[in-house]
Amino acid sequence: MSAASKENALITGAQTDTSLNQSLLGFVWSKPTRGYKQTLLLLSGGVGALLLSLFLLLWQGVGVWGNNHPVGWGFDIINFVWWIGIGHAGTLISAILLLFQQKWRTSINRAAEAMTLFAVVCALMYPTFHTGRPWFDWWMLPYPSTLGVGPQFKSPLLWDVFAIATYGTVSLLFWYVGLIPDLAALRDGSKSKAARLAYGVFALGWRGSGRHWSHWKLGYLLLAGLSTPLVLSVHTIVSFDFAVSHIPGWHSAIFPPYFVAGAVFSGFAMVVSLMIPARKFMKLEHVITLTHLENMNKVILLTGLIVSYGYAMEHFTAWYSGSEYEWTTFFETRTKGPYAPLYWAMWFCNLIVPQVFWVKKWRRSLPVMFTVAILVNIGMWLERFVIIVISLHRDFLPSSWAMYYPTPADLAMFLGSIAFFLTAFMLFCKFLPAVAVAEVKEQNHAEHVKGPA
Amino acid sequence: MRAWVLGEFEGSEALLAATRLLRAEGLRALDTHTPYPVRGLEEALGLPRSGVSTVAFVGGVVGVLTAYLTMVYFNVVEYPLNLANKPPHSPPVFIPVTFEIMVLFSSLAIVTSLVVYFWAFPRLHHPLFEHDAFRSASSHGWWLSVNSEMPDMVMRARERLDALGAKNVTVIHEFTAAPGGHA
Amino acid sequence: MTTKPPPAVTWRLPVLDNPVGAPRSHESVYGHAYWRSVEEQRGEGAGPSGEFLPGASLLDAMTRREAMTLLGASAALAGVGCTMKPSDTILPYHQAPEGLTIGNPQQYATAMSVGGVATPLLVTAREGRPVKIEGNPGVPWSGGASGPFEQAELLCLYDPLRLKRFSQNGEPVAKEDALAALTRLTEMASKKNKGAGVRLLLEPNGSPSREALLAALAESLPNAKVLMHAPLYPHARYAGAQLALGRRLEPHYRFQNARVILSLDADFTFPHGPGLRQARAFAESREPGPSMSRLYVVEPSLTITGSMADHRLRMRASDIEAFTRALVALLSRQLPALAQVPGAEATPASPFLEAVAADVVKAGPRAVLVVGDRQPAAVHAFAHAVNGALGSIGETVTFTAPAHTAHVDALQSLVADIERGAAESVIIFGGNPVYSAPAHLGLAASLKKVPTFYGGLYEDETARVSRWVLPASHFLESWGDVRLADGSVALTQPLVEPLYETVSEAQVLGALLGRFAAPAAWSFKESWRQRSTVTGDFEAHFAQWLRAGWVTQSAFSTETPVVNFAAVAEAAKTPAVEGMELALTVDSKVFDGRYAQVPWLQELPDPLTKVVWDNAALVSPKTAEQLGFPKQHFKGTDGYRVPLLRITAHGQSLEVPAFVLPGHADNSVSLALGYGGSSHDKTVAQSVGVNAYRLRATENSWLSPCTVENTGRHHTLVCTQEHWDMHQRDLALQAVRDEATQTLALDTFDHFEGRWKKKPLVEHLQTLKGPQPALYDYAPREVAKTRVEYRWGMAIDLNRCTGCSACVTACYAENNIPTVGKEGVKRNREMAWLRVDRYFIGELDTPGVITQPIPCMQCETAPCEYVCPVNATSHSEEGLNDMVYNRCIGTRYCANNCPYKVRRFNYFHYHQNKTPSERLAMNPEVTVRARGVMEKCTYCVQRIERARIEYRREGQAIPDGAVQTACQQACPTQAIAFGNLNDPQARVSRLHASERRYDLLHDLNTRPRTVYLARVKNPHPGLS
């Protein structure tokens, strides 16, 4: 192996099936550390805040949030879009990179997919509760109602319902199908009877049979093939929530591609920011290498540029349209309005910051990429704030212009959802293989052809 | 009385070679048990192309029809309302949901058919699991199994596996007939 | 006298037998118009309560909860409004008044008078409870309009904080004992010096029946003094007439005949009493065309009248006398009649003054000067002189005797009498004088020294210092009569039995007369019968008066006074105010303070400042700069964080939040009266505003010198509109009329070229109306035009809209709209379905103001509809953008996508804590929305449906005018037209076809059914 290829190796060290087995599943068998427990305890406080804010919401109504007239959507939809964007990375990595046969997907896809699922759950929380009366949400489903009236399929919100539900379901299936062989490994490696039973149930009886694998490979590939347009469609449809309306700042044809790019951008940033600590604490540096992280940083750079192009295009369209309302939204309200600092912070985080990744050294530097990833996450949150709140708070009639401020309940729910997300991720790492063991072994095998133990 | 003859090989290449050989020798009901898919095993085992793709296609078509017809029923047939002066039947606005439901149905069909039909899962207990060493099949072991109801065939398989250098060669008998199940 | 107690389970309905009905009504809907109850009460059937049958009270024989159950059950029978099954036994409604069909509304004529200002009313009752107050179009004087105050009386009636118990020294007493104490008082006082120690303090209302009672009282207590007092009484108006015309006369302006109007500090379109009629007459004079009038306004602070002006001169109120003298001096050169009145030359002469003088002379008898009630008598006298010299008297202004009089120093003399021992007992009914008295008068301390009887609606400041407190009946609960401004008598007919044990003023006076013990001896009707001069059947006449709401032909005869120029010439010069001027103003929301408890009004944005739940010291930008706060600090949800000013006048000081109002005069502070009552309830008006009465010099002073300092501390003011300019958008359009060519042109901003352009109005509006081509158009809309019988539409004439906000209150009342409180408005969650946008145009110091009412536009391609995921909002065939409340799940997407931002979301369950009495005010035809539901204007669809039912039964089409939306009905200037666009003769169709019509946000292609007509300014050619 040449030096260059060694540096870019996706699995470092001389690994065997056994060693990979030990290192990749080791975290599941190890006793939880004190730090792990303390972190969980801390996060459970956040989850408590989430539950408290939801209780308050259900008890009193949406008024506990900062939403008002004219800003009907605030933190609820900002966070929904933010989370659903984050939830794009996993399936994208799993599906699209699989289709493109990118080898570097294998070490990170499992954790990324889990992230996707948790992010989708976090995202779903917002539209579910944002009506304040979630017990009526089922009216959006096409059931045979005695009233004869059903859901209204022209509404992008309804498209959302189906898109998110499908995305969540398909992501779960995709993740689970990929997990079955590893669950079997956990079943077979477990010492206690309870663990063996628990993993056994979820492994469904996997025996690694040639027939199993034959169906598995095709089924997995087909799911990947379906997930790829799905993942693109989901954020496209989320963007329709805005693009189909006619509020200046929302009504824009560039939204679908730019939202998808933004979703990948923020999703990858979230994967990077989670992977950096996770690979350290779970001792996975040999399979989640700097090369993986560097590749993701390249994607962040690329999608960051696409997103910035989207911003530029919006402004160009506003200027070119000659519409007074568009002009005001983009060149007055955003740039000089009361929320202008957030707007400029968005440009900084999403355009300026990722440019450091042109430099290879920084692309491979953990502190740099962690900082960038966090800033990108903040920047993408700000983007949603800019799109939703800034567009709504000043639209057509200046008489109705007003400010929006979040309330403690808003913040509790937002921070609580982050805590929930991290809790779920930590529990996932503890109970399930955070890396697709079978696939890594397969890849390891392919790279070291003569390497049987 | 069914029985399985199990043997563990040193690596995927050995397993692959043994499979090819045994199949050439006319042994049927061969199966391999590997921690990850091995290229060439399908041909070695003589497996046909999986039918999952057909199921996926049918699921997708059913999804498209279900979604579109449901929407037409609710918004056009049962309760057409004037909304923003748009026609009740507006095909473009039905596209997103149609697409989503197609993906959903297709994916569900794939997974359901895999689990229930192609894999015949869940099968939480299987005679092979009786063999303790077989637990390595999901992590680092390369196993070959021959399934037969004929005692002489079982004997022959056992001899051949020994001869091919397999470790942990075992015969597992099934005392109660389990419903269904291929391998 | 025998009284038979009624069976406990019967529920008698109140005296509701004189429905007026609309002209279109027929008997089966509104029932036969009989008049029964007064007849009954005259006879033996009368109970001890004096005015009503025993057990007849709605809330007497049963708890209010039971009454609510009944109401709920009846509403359920009507199939509307009720979502809960009654959990209690349902009682049969078996003693219903004749003609009442459960579920059908009934309308009755009545009238109200507050502080001397009277309005004839038409009140809608549902199953015996008043639910909506409107103006009475049947009274010629009225025109049928109603202002915010009239609407708000409904909430006063049902106010849970009303006084409910009689008390002596704070201890509860029986009603009989309280009234017996009054009788005893008369008996003792008549023996002692013929009642010289008795003082009655009443509000002026010109009531003939009260006059009869007072005359009877004067027989037994000839030396007793009756003092008439109202804190906002226009004393100067009559003093000015006395000076110039030789007697106290009431001017009636006929603006419809006027070509030039000069308002000297007169807010003559103020939506109350005569202002309602004046606003309509003024609006008629503003029809663009050769006879369009021109309005000049000279005033310190912006008023709604000032915002309508073609030319407005901001000037301190105390400088207006000098302005008037200068004008007279100019005019006297050309009007020989004025030669005797010297006036005073202005130095230097202003172009404004010269333009006014020239215009006034040119218009001759068709010019008119109007003077505000704050101005001293001299200014009124000068105006009369000018009007007389122009020949305007009889043409644009007529005179009658005033409807009533009041004592200019009632409180002062009362305090003086108490202090010197002349007054031994005081009887006060209504008005809360302790609150509105000037602080230095010491009225509260004086009243404590003598036995004081106070009849009032609330436990207010006066109640606290009175020995005897008598809960007063609301006017909707009592019989009476009032005089309208032209002297005609309107009858106050009760719509409901008193909700609590209360007394009316007539009962108090009756008790003083000793007639309480024999209640049958006096009745309202008998009083009228005795004084009646009608020939023929009195019964028939009386029934007719009640049905019509007024005593026909009872107006005073018009007088044609002659101006005494010599007397005017000698009018005393009021000393000018040096330094800072404090100008007290009448508030358009709380009036003299009596409506501070009404949440509808507290939450009604001030027409100009848009401030809610507060009063503020209005100052000009320049004065603000001098006081050290050049900028209005804007803090979003914190509202306006404004500095607190300490205003000192007449030795009293107050800390008042400051508010910078463009167009305000420099060195002047305007402060509204009526706020800051100390007794206001915690939940409604506590710590709302400051009590400016404390700064009054005397009980009728308005302008005084003051000192103002910035305390450095701050207060939060809340506004419903934070942006004051239109950002050069074509929103509320205003054209300018060229007098020479009779053409209309407007300034519009060309966004491509980035500059203002003057364009012919008609040409520009062509681009702002009609449907635009759409990519995705749906043919059924076009089909619907011909197939559907009604296509509802609305037109709002900005040229008529003064921004008075009567429509907003009417909408609240009609549609059960909740109020959200100051905190709610601060969070921008006010629920108004109809709001009045107010924009400033031009310079900070001389701004143009334009107001634009914004209801739902009922867009034909409504952006809200297609985004709702559950079909909760959709389009009716007739063009209404319907909202299905019980289908709404609350995504708020529709509100986001509404470009007009007229949808309102229930962020909380605002109706949750309504008391049973407050619930009685609810309109059962409109769903009470729960939390989490979007709500909006639907052109009062309940009124459309009711009319449809009525006319369908007759097999007729709904004629134009048969359906009036609540906002339209209330509008004093008839700026709002509503009707069927398929009827080319309908007013709304004619306005839709007007060349001044345009669609708001036309380029969005929403195709609104509500359209606007551009306002037209008629500037003087030499001034613009």
Counting one residue from chain A and one from chain B, the pairs whose CB atoms sit within 8 A come to 207
Helices (runs of H) and strands (runs of E) counted in chain C: 31, 40
pLDDT at C735 over 90: yes
Instruction: Estimate to the nearest angstrom the gap between the alpha carbon of C1 and the chain centroid.
Output: 44
Spatial separation of the C-alpha atoms in residues A161 and A128, rounded to whole Å: 10
pLDDT at C266 over 50: yes
Highest mean pLDDT among A148-152, B46-50, C25-29, C615-619: C615-619
Q: Which domain holds residue C101?
A: 27-154
Q: In this structure, is residue C766 part of a structural domain?
A: yes
Q: Is A137 on the interface with B (CB under 8 A)?
A: no
Structural contact between residues C524 and C187, judged by C-beta atoms closer than 8 angstroms: no
- B81 contacts C875? CB cut-off 8 A: yes
**Digit-coded pLDDT (tens) for B87-106:** 888 899 999 999 999 999 99
List, in order, residues 6 or more apart from C288 with CB less than 8 Å away.
C737, C744, C799, C996, C1016, C1018
DSSP C855-907: -----TT-TTTTT-TT--EEE-TTS-EEE-GGG-----HHHHH-TT---EE-S
Residues of A in contact with B13 (CB under 8 A): 452
pLDDT of C1024 reads: 67
HEC letters along A105-119: HCCCHHHHHHHHHHH
Q: In this structure, is residue C201 part of a structural domain?
A: yes
Structural contact between residues C27 and C510, judged by C-beta atoms closer than 8 angstroms: no
Name the helix (H) or strand (E) containing A384. Answer: helix A366-385
Task: Judge if ipTM > 0.85.
Answer: yes
Spatial separation of the C-alpha atoms in residues A120 and C48, rounded to whole Å: 73
Q: In this structure, is residue C541 part of a structural domain?
A: no
Q: Is C1004 on the interface with B (CB under 8 A)?
A: no
pLDDT at C89 over 70: no
**CA–CA–CA angle C508, C514, C518 (5° rounding):** 95
Spatial separation of the C-alpha atoms in residues C429 and B182, rounded to whole Å: 100
Structural contact between residues A375 and A40, judged by C-beta atoms closer than 8 angstroms: no
Which residue has better confidence, C1012 or B169?
Answer: C1012
- C777 contacts B85? CB cut-off 8 A: yes
pLDDT of C538 reads: 86
Q: A60: nearest CA in chain C?
A: C908
Of C27-41, C459-473, C482-496, C720-734, least confident by mean pLDDT is C27-41
Helices (runs of H) and strands (runs of E) counted in chain B: 5, 4
Single residue among C672, C694, C719 that ends a domain in this structure? C719
Residues of A in contact with C870 (CB under 8 A): 139-140, 149, 151-152
Structural contact between residues B62 and B170, judged by C-beta atoms closer than 8 angstroms: no
- C874 contacts B85? CB cut-off 8 A: no
* Interface test mutation site (partner B, options A19, A20, A24, A226, max chain B beta carbons within 10 A): A226
Question: What is chain A's mean pLDDT, rounded?
Answer: 89
What tokens appear for C346 in the block? 């202005």
Q: In Å, how far is A157's CA from the nearest CA of chain B?
A: 11
Residues of A in contact with C768 (CB under 8 A): none
C338 and C441 belong to one structural domain: no
- Of C358, C337, C341, nearest to C349 (Cα)? C358
Number of domains in chain C: 5
Name the helix (H) or strand (E) containing A47. Answer: helix A34-60
- A62 contacts C907? CB cut-off 8 A: yes
Provide mean pLDDT across the span C216-238: 90
pLDDT at C80 over 50: no
Of C110-124, C684-698, C964-978, least confident by mean pLDDT is C684-698
Q: C878: nearest CA in chain B?
A: B82
- Of C604, C675, C601, nearest to C830 (Cα)? C604
Spatial separation of the C-alpha atoms in residues A212 and C603, rounded to whole Å: 71
pLDDT of C837 reads: 93
C999 and C902 belong to one structural domain: yes
Q: Would the CA dihedral through C780, C784, C787, C788 be positive or negative?
A: positive
Q: Is B85 on the interface with C (CB under 8 A)?
A: yes
Residue C455 belongs to a domain with what CATH number? 3.40.50.740
Q: In Å, how far is B114's CA from the nearest CA of chain A?
A: 7
Spatial separation of the C-alpha atoms in residues C124 and C924, rounded to whole Å: 12
- A216 contacts B13? CB cut-off 8 A: no
Please list the alpha-helical segments (H only) found in C50-174.
64-77, 148-157
Residues of B in contact with A165 (CB under 8 A): 100, 104
Q: At what angle do helices A193-203 and A156-189 cross, to 10 degrees?
A: 130
- A438 contacts B96? CB cut-off 8 A: no
Residues of C in contact with A390 (CB under 8 A): none
Q: In this structure, is residue C768 part of a structural domain?
A: yes
The neighbour count for residue C231, using CB atoms within 10 Å, is: 25
Q: Which residues 717-776 in chain C show a CB within 8 A of chain A?
A: 721-729, 731, 751-752
Q: Is B78 on the interface with C (CB under 8 A)?
A: no
Of C83-97, C220-234, C275-289, least confident by mean pLDDT is C83-97
pLDDT of C639 reads: 67
How does residue C66 score in pLDDT terms, banded at 50, 70 and 90? low
* Interface test mutation site (partner C, options A399, A401, A404, max chain C beta carbons within 10 A): A399
C469 and C455 belong to one structural domain: yes
pLDDT at C631 over 80: no
Spatial separation of the C-alpha atoms in residues A273 and A366, rounded to whole Å: 10
pLDDT of C17 reads: 43
Q: Is C636 on the interface with A (CB under 8 A)?
A: yes
Spatial separation of the C-alpha atoms in residues A110 and A93, rounded to whole Å: 9
C682 and C765 belong to one structural domain: no
Provide mean pLDDT across the span B124-148: 84
Q: Is C641 on the interface with A (CB under 8 A)?
A: no
Q: Which residues 842-861 in chain C show a CB within 8 A of chain B?
A: 859-861
Prior bond to C348 cis, omega within 30? yes
pLDDT of C680 reads: 61
Structural contact between residues C512 and C217, judged by C-beta atoms closer than 8 angstroms: yes
Q: In this structure, is residue C127 part of a structural domain?
A: yes
**Digit-coded pLDDT (tens) for C437-451:** 998 888 999 999 999
Spatial separation of the C-alpha atoms in residues B16 and B41, rounded to whole Å: 6
- Angstrom CA distances, C393 to C118, C241, C366, C371, C385, stand at 24, 13, 10, 15, 10
Please list the alpha-helical segments (H only) found in A130-209.
156-189, 193-203
- C835 contacts A247? CB cut-off 8 A: no
Please list the alpha-helical segments (H only) found in C481-603.
505-512, 524-531, 538-548, 565-569, 599-602
C267 and C197 belong to one structural domain: no
Spatial separation of the C-alpha atoms in residues C919 and C68, rounded to whole Å: 8
Phi, psi of C543 (to 5 degrees): -60, -40
The neighbour count for residue B163, using CB atoms within 10 Å, is: 11
Q: In Å, how far is B69's CA from the nearest CA of chain C?
A: 18
Beta bridge partners of C707: C648
Residue located via tokens 């105050």: C149
Q: Which residues 764-793 in chain C show a CB within 8 A of chain B?
A: 776-778, 780-781
How does residue C779 score in pLDDT terms, banded at 50, 70 and 90? low
- Of A427, A396, A345, nearest to A44 (Cα)? A427
pLDDT of C84 reads: 40
C780 and C705 belong to one structural domain: no
Q: In Å, how far is A382's CA from the nearest CA of chain B?
A: 27
Q: What does chain B come to in residues?
A: 183
* Interface test mutation site (partner A, options B42, B95, B107, max chain A beta carbons within 10 A): B107
Name the helix (H) or strand (E) containing C649. Answer: strand C640-649
- A324 contacts C636? CB cut-off 8 A: no
C254 and C375 belong to one structural domain: yes
C591 and C513 belong to one structural domain: no
Highest mean pLDDT among C40-44, C142-146, C543-547: C543-547
Q: In Å, how far is A283's CA from the nearest CA of chain C?
A: 45
**Digit-coded pLDDT (tens) for C972-1012:** 999 999 999 999 999 999 999 999 999 999 988 888 999 99
C851 and C917 belong to one structural domain: yes
Nearest CB partner across the interface for B82, out of C777, C780, C868: C780
C421 and C380 belong to one structural domain: no
How does residue C191 score in pLDDT terms, banded at 50, 70 and 90? confident
- B86 contacts C776? CB cut-off 8 A: yes
Beta bridge partners of C645: C656, C710
pLDDT of A281 reads: 87
**Digit-coded pLDDT (tens) for A336-351:** 888 999 999 999 999 9
Single residue among C350, C368, C400 that ends a domain in this structure? C400
Q: In this structure, is residue C8 part of a structural domain?
A: no
Highest mean pLDDT among C72-76, C705-709, C772-776: C705-709
Q: Is B82 on the interface with C (CB under 8 A)?
A: yes
Question: What is chain C's mean pLDDT, rounded?
Answer: 84
Single residue among C518, C534, C569 that ends a domain in this structure? C518
pLDDT of C682 reads: 59
pLDDT at A192 over 70: yes
Provide mean pLDDT across the span C570-576: 84
Phi, psi of B51 (to 5 degrees): -85, 10
Q: Which residues 277-316 in chain C show a CB within 8 A of chain A?
A: none
Q: In this structure, is residue C181 part of a structural domain?
A: yes
Q: B82: nearest CA in chain C?
A: C875
Beta bridge partners of C272: none
What tokens appear for C298 in the block? 């000279």
Counting one residue from chain A and one from chain C, the pairs whose CB atoms sit within 8 A come to 169
Instruction: Estimate to the nearest angstrom the gap between the alpha carbon of C703 and the chain centroid.
Output: 24
C206 and C243 belong to one structural domain: no
Spatial separation of the C-alpha atoms in residues B29 and C163, rounded to whole Å: 97
pLDDT at A199 over 60: yes
What share of chain C has pLDDT > 70, as a percent? 86
- Of A150, A232, A117, A223, nearest to B60 (Cα)? A223
C907 and C929 belong to one structural domain: yes
pLDDT at C522 over 60: no
**Digit-coded pLDDT (tens) for A421-436:** 999 999 999 899 888 8
pLDDT of A3 reads: 45
pLDDT of B28 reads: 77
Counting one residue from chain B and one from chain C, the pairs whose CB atoms sit within 8 A come to 41
Cα within 13 Å of Cα(A150), Cβ side: 19
Pairing of strands C367-371, C260-264: parallel
pLDDT of C832 reads: 94
Nearest CB partner across the interface for A151, out of C725, C869, C904: C869
The neighbour count for residue C665, using CB atoms within 10 Å, is: 28
How does residue C785 score in pLDDT terms, banded at 50, 70 and 90? low
Q: Is B61 on the interface with A (CB under 8 A)?
A: no
pLDDT of A450 reads: 46
- Angstrom CA distances, C884 to A145, A279, B121, C258, C889, stand at 16, 54, 49, 48, 10
Provide mean pLDDT across the span B26-47: 86
List, in order, residues 6 or more apart from C369 with CB less than 8 Å away.
C262, C263, C264, C360, C382, C383, C386, C387, C392
List, in order, residues 6 or more apart from C997 with CB less than 8 Å away.
C765, C769, C795, C991, C1011, C1012, C1013
Residues of A in contact with B83 (CB under 8 A): 152, 154
- Angstrom CA distances, A7 to A102, A384, C406, stand at 17, 38, 101
Of C88-97, C382-391, C556-565, C1010-1019, least confident by mean pLDDT is C88-97
Q: In Å, how far is A181's CA from the nearest CA of chain B?
A: 7
Residues of A in contact with B143 (CB under 8 A): 208
Of C52-66, C202-216, C600-614, least confident by mean pLDDT is C52-66
Residue C678 belongs to a domain with what CATH number? 2.40.40.20
Highest mean pLDDT among A185-194, B20-29, B37-46, B51-60: B51-60
How does residue A448 score in pLDDT terms, banded at 50, 70 and 90? low
Q: In this structure, is residue C472 part of a structural domain?
A: yes
What tokens appear for C540 in the block? 């028939």
Provide mean pLDDT across the span A276-293: 88
